Chain A
Amino acid sequence: RKEVEQDPGPFNVPEGATVAFNCTYSNSASQSFFWYRQDCRKEPKLLMSVYSSGNEDGRFTAQLNRASQYISLLIRDSKLSDSATYLCVVNIFNAGKSTFGDGTTLTVKP
């Protein structure tokens, strides 16, 4: 079993739709969690950190459920520019080791 698992999709949604991605992790020592966005095999860029209390940044909401060991990303009012691959990342704090999920591909269509 992979340490970090994501639904690979692809997710094809119309503009304006709400879409949710989930990610599960197996290492209970994991302490920090992130969503990164990657466009067309370019470098990944941080989308948002994920906090236990949940956090929101505009149309994006991230949630963490430590008991069930999963994190989620909700995108509301999808835009064409949201089309990308979304990578779930799990770190063991201050240990330098990062584990990435394989990514979920989102295509937003007009």
Chain B
Amino acid sequence: EAQVTQNPRYLITVTGKKLTVTCSQNMNHEYMSWYRQDPGLGLRQIYYSMNVEVTDKGDVPEGYKVSRKEKRNFPLILESPSPNQTSLYFCASSLKGEPVQHFGDGTRLSIL
């Protein structure tokens, strides 16, 4: 089944404790993105990647890192999480030249 898989789905953690949210897709998509969504707001793009070893900042990259060592994986790293990073996070992937995005189920992060 074609899918985008995020882990964990839920996480409660404390300020300053490094965490990684994994994202994996099995559709051989070139493009992958991370978004965050806060109450009353749409999705804001954090980082995106157009291919292996190619990543770019989105609209709200501060406090986040990403890597794209393999085509299928695009982890989101919070080196020193803070409470303002409490949010719902979505990973998405798409084919180059076909910008319809396929989303993972989301990860709810709470940073205390």
Contacts and interface: CB of A to CB of B under 8 A. Distances in A.
- Contact size range, A: 20 to 34
A58 to B, nearest CB: 18
B45 to A, nearest CB: 6
Interface residues of B, number: 27
A99 B45 contact: yes
A43 B104 contact: yes
A87 B106 CA distance: 16
B12 to A, nearest CB: 17
A102 B41 contact: yes
A97 B44 CA distance: 10
A96 B43 CA distance: 15
Contacts of A87: 42-43
Contact of B48 (A8, A43, A46, A96): A96
Interface of B: 31, 33, 35, 37, 40-45, 48-50, 56, 58-59, 88, 90, 96-97, 99-101, 103-106
